[in-house]
């Protein structure tokens, strides 16, 4: 499993959690540096050759477990970058999305663990304000997704 820290990828040793569950519960996931660096060049290369297997594998490993997701958002540089990206997305004008896609984006954003920190509450409030402004059918779709 992998966690993006800056431009480097850190890996979580899942075998350690399976062999020593008390150590895993007490100390949290064990992270160590991998030699592989994943960045924009990898995404550009995948786009050029139209082979996204490496990108897909990276995201599958990164978001494979709750421990990995939480570890991803703990470094402050990642936290700041994610918040900045969310702000840009929320303030984007003239979105060219279908209503269902906009609701899907709100659904993903509202579940982001970056909002657990008090300094991000104003951004979370702005997100909630946009969700409240959605049409009734979009609200129903969002509620349906939360019920699943």
Specify the pLDDT at position 37: 55
Residues 40 and 107 in one domain: no
**Of 44, 72, 100, the domain-final residue:** 72
* Alpha-carbon distance values, 145 to 4, 108, 111 (Å): 28, 11, 12
Residues 85 and 135 in one domain: yes
Residues 81 and 121 in one domain: yes
Residues 66 and 80 in one domain: no
Answer for the pair 138, 99: CB distance below 8 angstroms, yes or no.
yes
Classify 96 as helix, strand or coil: coil
Q: What stretch of H or E contains 28?
A: none
Q: Is pTM, for the whole model, over 0.85? A: no
Residues 60 and 111 in one domain: no
Specify the pLDDT at position 142: 93
> What residue ranges of the chain have pLDDT lower than 70?
1-38
Classify 74 as helix, strand or coil: coil
Specify the pLDDT at position 30: 41
Specify the pLDDT at position 85: 92
Count how many domains the chain has: 2
**Of 72, 95, 124, the domain-final residue:** 72
Return phi, psi of residue 122, to 5°.
Answer: -65, -35
Edge-to-edge order in the sheet of strand 2-5: 2-5, 8-12, 31-37
Specify the pLDDT at position 55: 85
Residues 65 and 91 in one domain: no
Mention every residue, 6+ apart, whose C-beta is less than 8 A from residue 10.
Answer: 2, 3, 4, 31, 32, 33, 34, 71
Residues 129 and 114 in one domain: yes
Specify the pLDDT at position 29: 46
Helices (H), 2-148: 14-19, 21-27, 40-49, 53-62, 66-72, 76-91, 99-110, 121-132, 136-147
Residues 52 and 106 in one domain: no
Specify the pLDDT at position 131: 94
Return phi, psi of residue 31, to 5°.
Answer: -110, 140
Residues 55 and 3 in one domain: yes
Residues 132 and 89 in one domain: yes
Specify the pLDDT at position 18: 39
Residues 82 and 121 in one domain: yes
Tens of pLDDT, residues 67-95: 887 777 777 888 888 899 999 999 998 88
Residues 67 and 79 in one domain: no
Structural domain boundaries enclosing 103? 73-148
């Amino acid at each position: 499993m992998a966690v993006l820290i800056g431009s480097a990828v850190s890996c979580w040793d899942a075998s350690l959690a399976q062999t020593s569950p008390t150590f895993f519960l007490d100390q949290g996931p064990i992270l160590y540096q991998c030699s592989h660096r994943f960045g924009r060049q990898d995404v550009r290369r995948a786009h050029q050759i139209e082979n996204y297997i490496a990108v897909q594998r990276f995201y599958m490993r990164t978001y494979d477990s709750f421990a990995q997701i939480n570890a991803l958002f703990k470094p402050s540089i990642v936290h700041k970058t994610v918040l900045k990206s969310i702000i840009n997305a929320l303030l984007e004008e003239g979105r060219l999305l279908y209503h269902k896609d906009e609701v899907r984006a709100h659904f993903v954003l509202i579940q982001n663990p970056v909002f657990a920190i008090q300094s991000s509450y104003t951004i979370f409030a702005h997100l909630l304000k946009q969700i409240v402004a959605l049409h009734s059918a979009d609200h129903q779709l969002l509620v349906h997704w939360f019920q699943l």
